[in-house]
Amino acid sequence: MRLLYLDCFSGISGDMCLSALLDLGVPLDVLEQVVAQLGADILLEKKTVIKGYLQATYLQIGAAGNHPPGRSLHDLRGILGHSSLPAALKEQVEGALLRLAEAEARVHGVDPGEVHFHEIGGLDTLLDLAGTFAAISYLGVEQVQVSPLPLARGSIKTSHGLLPLPAPATLHLLKGIPTYGIPLEAELVTPTGAVLAASLATGFGPPPLACWEQFGYGAGRSDLPEQPNVLRAWLGETATLAGTASEAALATATATPGTSFDEDLVLVLETQLDDLNPELLPYLRTQLERAGAIDVLFTPAVMKKGRPGNLITVLSPREKLLTLATILFRESSALGLRWYPAGRVKLFRTAEEVVTPYGSIPVKIGYARRPDGSREILNLAPEYEACASLAKKTGSSLKEIYQSALGTAQNLLQP
């Protein structure tokens, strides 16, 4: 799968996104076509700059004609509606634009229709959104992941007056997104950058397992005192353990010579709690599972001073680390947690229906692969919910139905 990772160590803005994507190899023509489709009086100039000893691309956006000091949401939606952008791209841009306007309206206590966009009369915002979505489509990206976002302090002069940083609209857009503070006085994440991260990302966290092919550096407008003000964009393909040293090590440990198993890599999150009301644990489990946890375990433990508690263990997909950590912190008394990667060796899995005197029941099948491609079935398990449903329906015992399904499924073991 084609993967884009946005490494936002110095934050993210609309022009940084466009510049990083240009540095990855997106032709300037792609953005100029977006400008033409919008019918916007905008001039684009691609520059090579140095930011903190790093070479980066900077896209300078200028006005080609006269523009009003600001355009309303209604005005920008009108421009978007009359544009010749592809329908799917229009939908993406309108969704992000509405999200941005709603955030501004929420923090300033006005209706979204009263929100005005000021830079180049708001056309800069349209280009940031439409250009980023178009450039990502040009690269054939199927998934975008984003690093946690750094937030600095200070203030910024706006049309509303002096506002604290991070800007209130930015904070509103970053609800539920992993962030961390750094000791700088600067605007690192702009509202447009925040809405792009929120709209694009399928996950937030460290770089996922992938084979990286290209790296792009997109410069921000300002210079930072202690670090280069750039957004790094990584482009590559998602990877598995196939062909890696980890797989080679696992292959030597295969229990049955000549067979192969499924393999993957997960993260293990752990924390011990002795001060959490146990009535809250079922809700915590539900929230973690809904957010993508593979499994959640509660293990009784004796903790310091002999106090009884629980070891909470969460199996997490790699891209869900910070999402699940946020839930653990929000829904429990945890002040910290450990995490580490863990390789898994698994049976390949499928399911088949078997017909019993009580009705059809799905049976889960766990198997290894032989060198000739055939299956070596090692585990069979009737679907519990289906057996329980038939037990209620027929009045037969659950044990009878389960054993009947298992006995019928034994035929699957025959060569």
Distances from the Cα of 279 to the Cα of 236, 331, 332, angstroms: 45, 12, 11
Residues 253 and 276: their CA atoms lie apart, in Å, by 41
Architecture of domain 348-413: Roll (3.10)
Q: What is the pLDDT along the chain (415 residues), one digit of tens a residue?
A: 899 999 999 999 999 999 999 999 999 999 999 999 999 888 999 999 999 889 999 999 887 766 666 788 888 989 999 999 999 999 999 999 999 989 888 888 888 777 778 555 578 889 999 999 999 999 999 999 999 999 998 888 776 678 889 989 999 999 888 898 988 899 999 999 999 999 999 888 888 888 899 999 999 998 998 899 999 999 999 865 444 434 444 334 444 455 578 877 788 999 999 999 999 999 999 999 999 999 999 999 998 888 999 999 999 987 788 889 999 999 999 999 999 888 888 888 888 889 999 999 999 998 888 777 778 888 999 999 999 999 999 999 999 999 999 998 887 766 5
Say how many CA atoms lie within 13 Å of 382 toward its Cβ.
26
- Which of 171, 176, 167, 96 lies closest to 136 in space, CA to CA? 96
SS3 content of the chain, % helix, strand, coil (to 5): 40, 35, 25
pLDDT at site 250 = 36
pLDDT at site 331 = 95
Where would I find the H helices in 201-268? 245-252
Q: Do strands 2-7 and 42-51 pair parallel, antiparallel, or not at all (unpaired)?
A: unpaired
Q: 3-state DSSP call for residue 281? A: helix
The domain locations on the chain are 2-238, 245-345, 348-413
Placement of tokens 């939606």 in the chain: 77
Residues 323 and 341: their CA atoms lie apart, in Å, by 16
Q: Which two tokens stand for residue 47?
A: 């520059």
pLDDT at site 65 = 66
Same fold, 245-345 and 348-413: no
pLDDT at site 255 = 41
Question: In the chain, what's the furthest Cα-to-Cα distance?
Answer: 81
Q: 3-state DSSP call for residue 276? A: coil
DSSP 82-141: HS---HHHHHHHHHHHHHHHHHHHHHHTS-GGG-EE-GGGGHHHHHHHHHHHHHHHHTT-
Residues 231 and 196: their CA atoms lie apart, in Å, by 13
Query: If one looks up domain 245-345 in CATH, what number appears?
Result: 3.30.70.1380
Q: Do strands 308-316 and 295-302 pair parallel, antiparallel, or not at all (unpaired)?
A: antiparallel
